[in-house]
Structure 1
Amino acid sequence: MKNLNQFFWFCSGVHINTLKDYPTEQNKYVGIGATIFFTALFASLSGGYAMYFVFSGDAAAVFFAILFGIIWGLAIFNMDRYIVSSISKNGTVNKQILQATPRILLAFMIGIVISRPLELKIFNKEIREKLKLSYLNGQRSKIDTLNNTFTYKYGLELKKIKDLVTERDSLTTDINRSRYLLNQEIFGDKTNQTSGQVGYGTYAKQKEEVLAQKVNRLGVVNNDITAMEGFIRQRRDLDGITSERMFSGKQLDSLANVAGFADRNWALGQLSFKADGSRELGTFLAISFIGLLFILFECLPVFVKLMSDKGPYDVALKNTEESSIHGSFKNKDYHIAVIDNVQETKIEAETERQKREIINSSKSAVYEE
């Protein structure tokens, strides 16, 4: 427990040697340090999970996820540790709030970043269903768009096929009727369209000639329809319409498995809305509360530091800092005094040397005289 306490003290960013002298303060900083540590742990898991989806399908996906998770967790740990340790309890309340405001905003942003990948994991099943529906609707929309574009592009050819089919149906009906009338004429059935004479007479020959013309025309129409349909089928193949199919259940599962982080994040946002665009209150609150929980967890060390009273450790830390500052000034004054003494010694030595040179010059002049 002693080693564990010291580890959490390190996480909280306190001056351990000073804190050891104040047992009443130790548990508070154990709690702050533990909060910072577990926030970094959640950040590591969250970052690793996000990176796993970035490299999903790659053989090294697990390696990159672990590596990035460790780096991301250490970065968040260092940032949180700095945020908490930099808030001084020796200032006024307004000053402390002013110091904490940008740190709370930063903690808020970190909480959002940490919570999002974990929310993706929690709502993984619902996200997969939303992605499947989205892919299915997207494929249907794509096929509809291709068909509409093709219809607009080859509208004249399609209209001609439609007219030929209509003519073919009309000819087929007319040919069947003409054959019936021909049989009535040959067998002598008296109607308003037959003569009532039995045998293959003049009227029967006329009806047979008309029937032959209609049959020939039907053959021409069928050939035209076959040629036009072959042309349209070839155009559909070239435009890629024929190869497009609606996704099967197996294909949708595969697409959902390889969905990227952006698609999954979009699907998570769509879970808060119904099909008609109205808000799905239950899902929205669930996602929001999970995000707020991590945001609160991230801001908690800062709030604890702000809410805690000024203790003996804070006073001792202030005294230690002031002693260090005064000691630094004393050392600085000492170094300045030493430099001044050295400079004065140099000046005195230089003056003495100049005096000796003057005396020697005077002696030399006397000796020459």
Structure 2
Amino acid sequence: MDKLNRFFWFCSGAHIPTLEKYPSEQNKYTGIGATIFFTGLFAALSGGYAMYFVFKGDDLAVIFAIVFGFLWGAAIFNMDRYIVSSINKSATTNKQLLQATPRILLAIMIGIVISRPIELKIFDKEIKERLKVSYLNGQRSKIDTLNKAFEKKYQVEFGRLNQQKATRDSLEKGIKSDRQKLNFEIFGNKTTETSGVMGYGPYAKRKEAEIKQREAELDSLKANINKSESFVDQRKQFDGLFTEKLYTAKQLDSLANIAGFADRNWALGQLKFNADGTRDNNTALAVTFIGLLFIFFECLPVFVKLMSARGPYDYATADGDEVAIYQSKKDKDFHLEVADNIHETRVDSESSKKKEIIKGKAYRDLERHDWDS
């Protein structure tokens, strides 16, 4: 436990030798350090999970995820440690709040970044189902778009084919009606168009001949329709319409499993809405509260440092800082004084040398004058 406490003190950014002198302060910094450590741990898991989906399908995806997760967690841990340790408890309350405001904003941003990949993991099953629906609708829309574009491209051929089909339907309906009338004539059913006399008479023969002629026309028309449909099928085959089919359940599972981070993030946002477009308040609240939980968890060390009263450790570190600053200024003044003395000594020495040089020159000039005389 002693080693664990010391590790958490290190995580909190506290000065361990000073903190050891004040047992009443140790639990506070153990809690702050533990919060910072677990925030970094969650950040590592979150970053690694996100990076895994970025490189999913690559043989080195797991290695990339581990390396990036470790680096991301270490960066967040170091940032949190600096944020908490840089709050000066010796300052006034307003100044502490002013110091903490940018740090709280930064903590909120970090909490949002950390929470998103973890939310993706929590709602993994729901995200996959929403992705399946999205992929299926997208494929259906793609097929519809290709078909509309194909029909527009071969508008004349489709118009002729539709007209032939309409004529075929009309002929089939007329033949069916005439065959019913022929049966009425043969079996002696009296109508406005039959004689009511049973037997295969002249009217029945004429009616049967008309039916055979129309059936021949119908056969010829069907042959033309088959040719037109065969041409359309060939064009569809050439344009690749037959290769585009709706995904099977197995294909949808595979697509959902290999979905990237962007698709999964989009699907998580879509979970807040039902299939009919109405808002799903339950899921929306769940996603929101999970995000707020991580934001609060990230801001918690800063809040604890702000809410805690100024204790003996804070006084000790503040006094130590003042002593260090005073000693640093004193050393600086001492060095400056020494430098000034050295400079003055150097100036005096140079001045003496100059005087001696001048005296020596004057003496030589005097000797030269006496010699000349």
State whether TM-score is above 0.5: yes
Range 128-137 or range 28-37, more displaced: 128-137
Counterpart residue identity of residue 259, structure 2: A
Q: 2:323 — aligned with what? A: 323
Query: 1:220, CA displacement in angstroms?
Result: 3.8
Once the two structures are superposed, residues 92-116 of structure 1 have per-residue CA deviations (whole angstroms, 9 ceiling, x without a partner) of 1111111111111111111111111
CA contact (8 A) 2:132 2:252 kept: yes
Q: Distance in 2 between matches of 1:61 and 1:117?
A: 16
Q: Distance in 2 between matches of 1:81 and 1:180?
A: 94
Identical pairs, percent: 60
Query: 1:154, CA displacement in angstroms?
Result: 2.7
Once the two structures are superposed, residues 111-163 of structure 1 have per-residue CA deviations (whole angstroms, 9 ceiling, x without a partner) of 11111111111111111111111111222222222223333333332221122
Range 171-180 or range 295-304, more displaced: 171-180
1:115 equivalent to 2:124? Answer: no
**Superposed CA RMSD:** 3.0
- Pairwise mapping of residues 210-359 of structure 1 onto structure 2 (< 5 A)? 214=214, 217-359=217-359
- Pairwise mapping of residues 152-167 of structure 1 onto structure 2 (< 5 A)? 152-167=152-167
SS of residue in 2 equivalent to 1:96: helix
SS of residue in 2 equivalent to 1:278: coil
CA separation of 1:74 and 1:156: change in aligned 2, threshold 3 A: same
Query: 1:170, CA displacement in angstroms?
Result: 3.9
Q: Distance in 2 between matches of 1:261 and 1:103?
A: 28
Once the two structures are superposed, residues 317-337 of structure 1 have per-residue CA deviations (whole angstroms, 9 ceiling, x without a partner) of 111111111111111111111
Q: 1:12 — aligned with what? A: 12
CA contact (8 A) 2:178 2:211 kept: yes
Once the two structures are superposed, residues 202-242 of structure 1 have per-residue CA deviations (whole angstroms, 9 ceiling, x without a partner) of x9998898667645544542332122112211222233322
Query: 1:178, CA displacement in angstroms?
Result: 7.5
Aligned residues, how many?
366
Counterpart residue identity of residue 30, structure 1: T
Range 98-107 or range 232-241, more displaced: 232-241
Counterpart residue identity of residue 225, structure 1: I
Range 77-86 or range 239-248, more displaced: 239-248
CA contact (8 A) 2:184 2:194 kept: no
Name structure 2 gaps, 5 residues minimum: none
1:127 equivalent to 2:127? Answer: yes
Q: Distance in 2 between matches of 1:138 and 1:214?
A: 46
**Normalization by structure 2: what TM-score?**
0.88
Counterpart residue identity of residue 329, structure 1: K
**Normalization by structure 1: what TM-score?**
0.89
Query: 1:349, CA displacement in angstroms?
Result: 1.3
Q: Distance in 2 between matches of 1:289 and 1:130?
A: 21
Query: 1:172, CA displacement in angstroms?
Result: 4.9
Counterpart residue identity of residue 2, structure 2: K
CA separation of 1:363 and 1:251: change in aligned 2, threshold 3 A: same
SS of residue in 1 equivalent to 2:100: helix
CA separation of 1:206 and 1:273: change in aligned 2, threshold 3 A: closer
Query: 1:75, CA displacement in angstroms?
Result: 0.4
1:29 equivalent to 2:29? Answer: yes
CA contact (8 A) 2:12 2:36 kept: yes
Q: Distance in 1 between matches of 2:183 and 2:259?
A: 70
Counterpart residue identity of residue 306, structure 2: L
Query: 1:185, CA displacement in angstroms?
Result: 11
Q: 1:47 — aligned with what? A: 47
Name structure 1 gaps, 5 residues minimum: none
SS of residue in 2 equivalent to 1:102: helix
Q: 1:138 — aligned with what? A: 138
1:76 equivalent to 2:80? Answer: no
